[in-house]
């Protein structure tokens, strides 16, 4: 995992109170359904945490939002591209 992926994995575990080691989150594994099992409330909470930490405002009406949340790696690529902090 890249340093940002490690950082965001830690943020996910902390924000969502996941009972797992951040190192066990697969960078390419799905975040929803069969992956980590996240739901829309988790996405909202994670979006708020990302906004606070990185200044990147994820919007539900973004046409790429599903792709952005498809995996940890995809989320981190989007953060890298749009972050202001």
Q: pLDDT of the chain along its 85 residues, tens only?
A: 999 999 999 999 999 999 999 999 999 999 998 889 999 999 999 999 999 999 999 998 999 999 999 999 999 999 999 999 9
The separation between CA 9 and the C-alpha centre of its own chain, rounded to angstroms, equals 7
Residue 15 tokens read as: 């924000």
Cut 0.85: pTM above it:
yes
**Helix 72-82, helix 3-16: angle, nearest 10:** 110
What range defines the domain where residue 39 resides? 3-82
What is the domain count for the chain? 1
The CATH number covering residue 33 comes to 1.10.1200.10
For residue 32, the cross-strand partners are 38
pLDDT score for 33? 84
With b for 16 or more beta-carbon neighbours within 10 A and e for fewer, the 8-44 pattern comes to: bbebbbebbebeeebeebebeebbbeeebebeeebbe
């Amino acid at each position: 995992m890249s340093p940002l992926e490690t950082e965001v994995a830690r943020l996910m575990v902390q924000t969502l109170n996941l009972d797992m080691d951040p190192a066990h989150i697969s960078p390419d594994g799905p975040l929803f359904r069969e992956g980590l099992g996240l739901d829309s409330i988790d996405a909202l909470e994670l979006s708020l945490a990302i906004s606070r930490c990185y200044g990147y405002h994820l919007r539900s009406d973004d046409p790429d939002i599903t792709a952005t949340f498809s995996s940890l790696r995809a989320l981190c690529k989007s953060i890298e591209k749009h972050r202001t902090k």
